[in-house]
Amino acid sequence: MIKTYPLNESDRDLIEAASAKIRDLYEENRHHVGAALKTSSGKIVAAVHIEAYIGRVTVCAEAIAIGKAISDGERGFDTIVAVKHPYSDDEDRALKVVSPCGMCRELISDYAKECFVILNVNGETVKVKIGELLPYKYTRDS
């Protein structure tokens, strides 16, 4: 069973930062996911994913947010969230919190072993430790 934690006001602010970023920069077939990362110093870094026609060069919003934070000198990460904008033909027009893909789970874990990830579990938006999403991670020591 996955251990979950309730959201606090700071977590809701992080979801809003990711939502605002993708609302502002959404572009069909270019950017449909926004992410926001809260650093250990309290700074919020937000980014969008970059879509490519050749899928393997697409870069996830979480990876861009992590890279942006590191490039700004941040080293400790507290919490991360990704939010998906609906496509123009989606009937449901709501923004939705989404779980990080496998590669992003690896990246988050590599840079912040104790990072919280906000996602939906059984219809409820909660946060979990990245280790819960990647319990048997390959490491140098494993």
- Cα–Cα distance measured from residue 19 to residue 41, given in angstroms and rounded to the nearest whole number: 21
Determine how β-strand 116-121 pairs with β-strand 77-84. parallel
Strand, coil or helix: what is 36? strand
Residue given tokens 């926004």 in the structure block: 34
Question: What average pLDDT does the segment 5-26 reach?
Answer: 97
Neighbours of 51 (CB within 10 A): 16
Cβ pair 38, 78 in contact under 8 A? yes
Q: pLDDT for 45-103, tens place per residue?
A: 999 999 988 878 999 999 999 999 999 999 999 999 999 999 889 999 999 999 999 99
Q: Which residues are catalytic?
A: 62
Question: What average pLDDT does the segment 39-44 reach?
Answer: 97
Which structure tokens are listed for 31? 């950017």
Q: What is the pTM of this model?
A: 0.94
